[in-house]
Amino acid sequence: MPRGRYSLHDPHDHTPLGEEHFHCAPGPSGWRYVSQRTTPSGEHTGSVDLALDERGRPIRLELHAAGWQVRGAALDGVTWVRTDPAGTHAAEGNVRAHAFTGTSPAFLVATARLLRLAPGDPATRVRLVAFTDPVLAPRTVDRSWALVKSEAHGTDNGPLTVDEYRIGCLDTGEQYTVHIAGDVVLAAPGIELEDLETPPSHFT
């Protein structure tokens, strides 16, 4: 069960945004990721709980941030309920999309697991519902994903395969690179892996 800590920063000016303390593990029915998020000074700001089925689809998502809460799952596309801080109003949404995304590294692993690309495959278009910080506002986005290469690196625990993905934002044309090993993001814009207590898990 990988357990560790990501640092989060603004991908443009590198302003520190906080940290995400996580643990995750594959299971007989898929994969689960749980994390707590803090400010740079250590104050709690929210949490992420994401569970995928064996095909990489989100069967349960629960997000907390700034008093807001989102619960969602893959149902007729993706469906979610967003609740305001006072808890007096709940707004339901549904979009014909493949999965969810957001600022948590969990969503990069989840999308890679959903697409299961091979090096050399043409770029794949995927529609996602993004929950934006800090109030978890939903926004539908289109991305292109391509697996550029997979390389094995020697470690004290044996070879570690690192996948390099090229991701494109189809609405802005922006492209960026993400490195993932198993179920851990090694590096991505705005994300750095600072500490990892156990090696990444490998999906079968």
Kindly report, residue by residue over 104-149, the tens digit of the pLDDT: 999 999 999 999 999 989 999 999 999 998 899 999 999 999 999 9
For residue 204, the model assigns a pLDDT of 65
Q: Which two tokens stand for residue 157?
A: 């625990």
pLDDT tier at 88, thresholds 50, 70, 90: confident
* Residue extents of the structural domains in the chain: 3-198
Its pTM stands at 0.95
For residue 189, give the nearest of 2, 14, 5, 28 by alpha carbon.
Answer: 14
What's the CA gap between 48 and 24, in Å, rounded? 11
Neighbours of 54 (CB within 10 A): 15
Q: Which two tokens stand for residue 134?
A: 């800090």
Neighbours of 9 (CB within 10 A): 16
